[in-house]
Amino acid sequence: MKRLVPLVIGGLCAAVLTPAAAADTPSATGVAVTVARFATPDAATKAYTYDPALIAPGAAVVVVATPLRRSTKALLTVYGLVPNRTYGAHAHQRPCGALPTDAGAHHQHVVDPVQPSVDPAYANPDNEIWLDFTTDDRGRAVVGTVVPWRFADRRAGSVVIHAERTATEPGKAGTAGPRLGCATVRF
């Protein structure tokens, strides 16, 4: 299994706090950038919290997805979550909505013919984008992953943050407990 690469927390947190950075930016190079603060569904437009105790309104999220020559790099930064806590996170099929289920299932490069997919042959961090993280003592985390494929016609629409670390065993693979929050990303 591929390791998630923990990275040093740095400038992205500063970017979160800059209002001018609050843009949804699919650039000419195909890089997708989401910078947003979580809000409750009645107020949210890009980043939704469905559990304000575990993702406080006002907590911040940055997602950067970069297409490379034969792969895709995704970077998730969070700021203001519960300190020293592990969360699951994945790219899901659709944009976020008022309901946690609005984001749909996980984006899979090779789609499991059996849905919901809990088969490790499909529900794994090479075929899906997994971004599990553990916050530091100030509630921050940065995590990155590289998957060996690029998006084609089917694209992911969001990153969903879950209550638990992502399971890998047959029958449970890809599951990570309740959906706590969601950030819309134009992958």
Q: Which two tokens stand for residue 75?
A: 């970077």
Please name which of 154, 160, 163 lies closest in space to residue 187, comparing C-alpha atoms.
154
SS3 100: helix
Q: Least distance in Å: CB of 106 to Cu ion?
A: 6
Q: Least distance in Å: CB of 173 to Cu ion?
A: 12
Query: 64 vs 160, which CB is nearer to Cu ion?
Result: 160
CB-nearest residue to Cu ion? 90
**Binding residues for Cu ion (CB under 5 A):** 90, 160
Please name which of 173, 4, 177 lies closest in space to residue 76, comparing C-alpha atoms.
4
Query: 15 vs 135, which CB is nearer to Cu ion?
Result: 135
Q: Least distance in Å: CB of 153 to Cu ion?
A: 21
Q: Least distance in Å: CB of 21 to Cu ion?
A: 25
- Give CA–CA dist 77/141, Å, rounded: 6
Please name which of 87, 64, 181, 167 lies closest in space to residue 135, comparing C-alpha atoms.
87
Query: 55 vs 160, which CB is nearer to Cu ion?
Result: 160
Helix (H) / strand (E) containing 14? helix 11-16
Query: 77 vs 175, which CB is nearer to Cu ion?
Result: 175
